Amino acid sequence: MEGPTKRFGNKPQIAFFDFACCEGCQLSVLQLEERLLDILELVDVVTWREAMSEYSNDYDIAFCEGSITREQDIERVREIREQAAILVTLGSCASGGCHNDLKNQWEMDEMLALVYGDQAEHFDTIPSRPITAVVEVDYKIYGCPVSLAEFVTVVKRILTGQSYEPPNQPVCVECKLNDHLCVLEKGEVCLGPVTRGGCDAICTGFGDACQGCRGLMDAANVGAMLKALTREQAHAIVRKVVERYGFTQDDIETKLRIYNNWPELNLEEIAANDD
């Protein structure tokens, strides 16, 4: 499938920008090392605060990391959108929501006071949201941090004028294809059944539960997962596991909230609708 129309020459100018985040996705890209050198033969990087001192507002492709958490962020990302022929969201903070959105459970004044104490009046904040909620984007890369293999794939697609659809199968699929032991059997709440795959189930490969860092996949059936893990249901093995470890809706909600607070997660409503 053809991607967004290219408006740049043979060697496009690339810029990296960060909004509210840990900047771990940019750091991951730097870890591409030799492969980064290959990419640099095809593009000119003109702005990348984490990696270089030079700066230019003349760029074709913008990689934007982080969440929008202040009014001035909205203005800034709109300016980037206006300049860039291609805008790519880098990581879950920018693509779908992430830790930053946890603050949306509180009133903003309360949050400012908690963080800045008696200096709160000098700062402003708005409910956190991904960049995708503010401007149209051409490519999305999920993950906290991004998968480097996926980053390279997206760069290739952009440079060859092709579109890219983020994976939309649950992590469980990749977990089973890799023959990983299901961590539910160890009594750990795993969000693999509802989380967007594309990471090759790296966490369950190390025996850890999926924390949901790539966000909910499209049309994730959270209600069915709640039912399967917290209530009487048909699958005898899972029922035995649930009886033994006693997962609660609160356990699952606490975990889901880490990466899925945009738009607001309402587990009460989801559970009620699934009765």
Residues that bind ligand SF4 (CB under 6 A): 21-25, 65-66, 91-93, 98-99, 144-145, 171-172, 175-176, 180, 182-184, 190, 192-193, 195, 199, 201-204, 210-214
On the 0-12 / 13-18 / 19+ scale of CB atoms within 10 A, 174 is buried
Rounded Cα distance between 39 and 115, Å, is 40
Residue number, 22 or 51, with CB nearest to ligand SF4: 22
Query: Minimal distance in Å, beta carbon 2 to ligand SF4?
Result: 28
Q: Please say which residue, 12 or 174, places its beta carbon nearer to ligand SF4.
A: 174
In whole angstroms, the minimum distance from the beta carbon of 38 to ligand SF4 comes to 23
Given a contact cutoff of 8 angstroms between Cβ atoms, the answer to whether 91 and 141 are in contact is: yes
**12 or 64, CB closer to ligand SF4?**
64
Nearest to ligand SF4 by Cβ — which residue? 192
Pair type for strands 129-130 and 67-68: antiparallel
DSSP string, 14-79: EEEEE-BS--HHHHHHHTTTHHHHHHHTT-EEEEETTT-S---S--SEEEEESEE-SHHHHHHHHH
Q: Cβ of residue 151: shortest distance to ligand SF4, in angstroms?
A: 11
Q: Considering the complex, state which of residue 125 and residue 162 has its C-beta at the smaller distance from ligand SF4.
A: 125
CB of 237 to ligand SF4, least distance (A): 11
